[in-house]
Chain A
């Protein structure tokens, strides 16, 4: 069975594309045939984060309008043979996507035995964002520990619960997961940042994982390599944990509390 995952947030700049690239690579590296689709028509960036920007020939809008086949538009990832990228159009109008067209592409991917389809949603609640979440089975709600992001995530949860295919057809609702990104345990400790518990109190979501604020995210996007491939980095490991947890492995949460200093390690202080 194909599982469709939307990576969404409402607010921009919280790490949706970074997350989409990382988890898609994570699924593929675990041996699952995975596609990752950019729904941000007019402002595509997934191609850059995945490092395939120079190999884009056709895009999702070309497929919807019959100007290219799905096979022609899918870009095979250079790091992992199980991973394919479907880029968004950079030149077309953002209303060029249609529900019917997107539905057909997802069906065709399912018929090609894709196990996971990751839909990278644009910011906002307009058409691209709506279509990215409409067919989803699961939603990864990417949130920063910051007031605007938390508020927008809550708004997005309302839309997931009322405007999706599962809601409209009275099916089992979309499973929603919280990914708290750009988290600084140090700042939480001194009361400068909302904690995981604070955000969960407000959004009441199942926590899939915390991604710490990390230099490695920018380094990864600079070079067009999903951060999960940087196995030494904290953010890379956090994403690997998230993929493993989603796939049912039991991984204790990390990066929520401040790292113990050398004294803490020796003397076992809490």
Chain B
């Protein structure tokens, strides 16, 4: 560390850190706001049913809920393994 570093004002204020963290978090949480509350349970049960027949891991299913002015879309995405059982 050079002597010059002592004179540089590089310290980021804690308030700006707080603001950045909040902006990311709030945006993330708002995207879940209008989702129906049954979604996690639905995802879990779908996975159980699929795992009865196909050897898929817990990460290979995703359930997305999207909403615009006209319609609500429930998208279920399952990644099947290369070789079926």
Chain A positions within 8 Å of B, measured between CB atoms, are: 146-147, 150-151, 154-155, 158, 162, 188, 190-195, 198, 201-202
Q: A154-B26, A154-B29 are in contact. Are A193 and B15 (CB under 8 A)?
A: yes
Q: In this assembly, does B77 line the interface, its C-beta being within 8 Å of a C-beta of chain A?
A: no
A202 to B13, CA, bound (A): 18
Q: Provide the bound-state CA to CA distance between A2 and B14, in Å.
A: 44
**A191 and B29 contacting across the interface, CB-CB below 8 Å:** no
Q: Are B21 and A147 in contact (CB under 8 A)?
A: yes
Distance in angstroms between the alpha carbons of A150 and B24 in the assembled complex: 13
* Bound CA span A154–B34, Å: 13
Interface size class of B (residues with CB under 8 A): 10 to 19
Could you say which residues of chain B place their CB within 8 Å of the CB of A201?
Answer: 19, 23
Knowing A147-B22, A194-B18, A194-B19, say if A158 contacts B13 (CB, 8 Å). no
Min CB distance B35 to A, Å, is 11
Chain A residues positioned under 8 Å from B14 (CB to CB): 191-192
> Interface residues of B: mostly helix, strand, loop or mixed?
helix
Q: Which chain B residues have a beta carbon within 8 Å of chain A's beta carbons?
A: 13-16, 18-19, 21-23, 25-26, 29-30, 33-34
Docked pose: A147 CA to B26 CA in angstroms: 10
Q: A154-B30, A162-B34 are in contact. Are A202 and B23 (CB under 8 A)?
A: yes
Known contacts A147-B22, A151-B25, A192 near B30 by CB under 8 Å: no
Interfacial chain B residues near A146, Cβ < 8 Å: 18
| Nearest CB in chain B: distance from A130 CB, A | 15
CA of A192 to CA of B16, assembled, Å: 9
Are the C-beta atoms of B13 and A191 separated by less than 8 Å? yes
Q: Shortest CB–CB separation between residue A268 and chain B, in angstroms? A: 27
Contacts A158-B30, A162-B34; is A151 near B16 (CB within 8 Å)?
no
Closest to B33 in A: A158
**Beyond A192-B14, A194-B18, 16 additional pairs, beta carbon < 8 A:** A151-B29, A154-B30, A155-B29, A158-B33, A162-B33, A162-B34, A188-B15, A190-B13, A191-B13, A191-B14, A191-B15, A192-B13, A193-B15, A194-B15, A198-B19, A202-B23
